[in-house]
Amino acid sequence: MNSARLSFDLVVVGAGPGGLAAASVAAERGGSVALLDNSPWLGGQIWRGEQARSAVPLARQWIERFLASGARAVMQASVFASPDRGVLLAETPAARLTVRFKKLILATGARELFLPFPGWTLPGVVGPGGLQAMVKAGWPVAGRRVVVAGSGPLLVAVADGLRRYGARIPLIAEQAPQLRLARFAAGLWRYPDKLAQAVAMKARLLGIPYRAGVWLRRAEGGERVERVVLTDGRRSWTVECDLLACGWNLVPNTELPRLLGCALASGFVRVDEFQRSSVEGVFCVGELTGIAGADAALVQGQIAGLAAVGETEAAREWFAERSRWHRFGAALTRAFALRPELRQLAKRETVVCRCEDVSREAVERCRDAREAKLHTRCGMGPCQGRICGAATQFLFGWESDSIRPPVFPVRMESLLTASEHPKPVSNLSDPTS
């Protein structure tokens, strides 16, 4: 395998709205800037694949601005370790990279929260955002029946998108009660652009049943999902489907900041007014610091990008705008808080750790994530606890176990590069075995 050494004044990890904004504003002011992302596309979760089509004006604007900024994009590069201060290791399909930086901005975003329930391991049970991303990359949904369930504004956005690709949506099931959603909607006048989006979306969705206060009990099928059983707490009913898109809000991808030693507060990276983390020279932006949407990520990215190149006064001008989006994020979190009944969905025999096929019963006998790992292998598989860790946090209130490199399973050769450095990486087991 090839290896390469690169060096930049500023390195940004994550090419979503937060990372694009940070890299663009910093590169526009001179200095060498690199933007690394593990996907083949700029734009992160919300705009992935948009550069080719440029259907979304804001996406086009930021991707064009980034391309003109002089920053360098390094795509399909998974950052998996930081063996020394100022050094990251990344792996691309063709090479391993050693990337040196003076300043670092992390914008690794969030992932969907998946909760275990009977049947959630059947093929065809997919995250809503994940399905959306796969559909943009060619996954066929035309004529298929897709039940969308779980929680969060993403459900509606995804159902709308899927329908434009020809999917049929028998139902959107939102677990949050109607009353809380109504209160949230009533507060939306403070965010005119969001309101406009919501209204346009609702209009297009006319005809798709949207039920609040409804959640999944189980999915059924042979080698793939064929139907789902839903409940409103009083009665249960069955809906036939070809795919089930379900996810319960988002959880931040804090593995990399935790590896670097950034302090967390309530599960998110703690940052100061300039988006600086507790680690000198390391900034964090976007969903890593709180779930507040793409607009918040764009503003935070600009603040961090400017602050990283010493333009603190220019950064300050964005503070008021950021406060506005933080209030929006807080309202969102209140509206879509998860109901306690969801903790009871998984039965004793339901698989909690999908990589190692560990049941709830086995996991529940342990005191914490560490013990579960040692006794049941829960969290020891290739996803390294990304799926089951978030689930056991919700189910049992367990804190995630300490983080060790590599934060992504990598090829053996890449790990050997990692161990050439003075501080050897522990946990050299082959994660793919």
Partner 1 sequence: MPERIELSVNGRALSVPWGTTVAAAVALAGETRFRRSVHGDARGPLCGMGICFECRVTINGEPHARSCLILCADGMEVRTDE
**Which residues here bind partner 1, judged by CB under 8 A?**
38-40, 45, 49, 52, 76, 78, 93, 111-112, 114, 121-127, 129-134, 137-140, 223-224, 354-357, 381-383, 386-387, 408-409, 432
Give whichever of 299 and 355 is closer to partner 1, judged by the CB atom. 355
Give whichever of 239 and 279 is closer to ligand FAD, judged by the CB atom. 279
- C-beta atoms surrounding 236 within 10 Å: 11
| Displacement of CA 144 from its chain's centroid (Å) | 26
Least Å from the CB of residue 130 to ligand FAD: 5
Q: Which does 16 bind (CB under 5 to 8 A by kind): partner 1, ligand FAD, none?
A: ligand FAD
Give whichever of 24 and 376 is closer to ligand FAD, judged by the CB atom. 24
Helix ranges (DSSP H) in 69-206 = 128-136, 154-164, 178-186, 192-205
Q: Which does 52 bind (CB under 5 to 8 A by kind): partner 1, ligand FAD, none?
A: partner 1
CB contact at 8 A, 28 and 66: no
Tokens 């992935």 label which residue? Answer: 48
How far apart, in Å, are the Cα atoms of 300 and each of 32, 65, 238, 325, 332?
20, 17, 43, 10, 18
DSSP-derived 3-state class of residue 370: helix
Residue 304, phi-psi category: left (phi > 0), alpha (psi -120 to 50), beta (remainder): alpha
Interface residues toward ligand FAD, by CB under 6 A: 13-19, 36-39, 44-46, 78-79, 107-112, 129-130, 132-133, 154, 157, 250, 253, 256, 286-287, 293-294, 297, 407
Least Å from the CB of residue 311 to ligand FAD: 20
Q: Which does 49 bind (CB under 5 to 8 A by kind): partner 1, ligand FAD, none?
A: partner 1
CB contact at 8 A, 175 and 150: yes
Q: Which does 37 bind (CB under 5 to 8 A by kind): ligand FAD, partner 1, none?
A: ligand FAD
CB contact at 8 A, 233 and 242: no
Give whichever of 96 and 103 is closer to partner 1, judged by the CB atom. 96
Least Å from the CB of residue 201 to ligand FAD: 10
Q: Which does 46 bind (CB under 5 to 8 A by kind): ligand FAD, partner 1, none?
A: ligand FAD
Least Å from the CB of residue 127 to partner 1: 5
Least Å from the CB of residue 381 to partner 1: 7
What is the distance between the alpha carbons of residues 81 and 259, in angstroms, rounded to a whole number?
A: 8
Q: Which does 328 bind (CB under 5 to 8 A by kind): ligand FAD, partner 1, none?
A: none
Q: Which does 229 bind (CB under 5 to 8 A by kind): ligand FAD, partner 1, none?
A: none
Beta pairing, strands 215-220 & 210-212? unpaired
How far apart, in Å, are the Cα atoms of 223 and each of 80, 122, 166, 327?
34, 7, 24, 44
Give whichever of 39 and 400 is closer to ligand FAD, judged by the CB atom. 39
Length of the chain counted residue by residue? 433
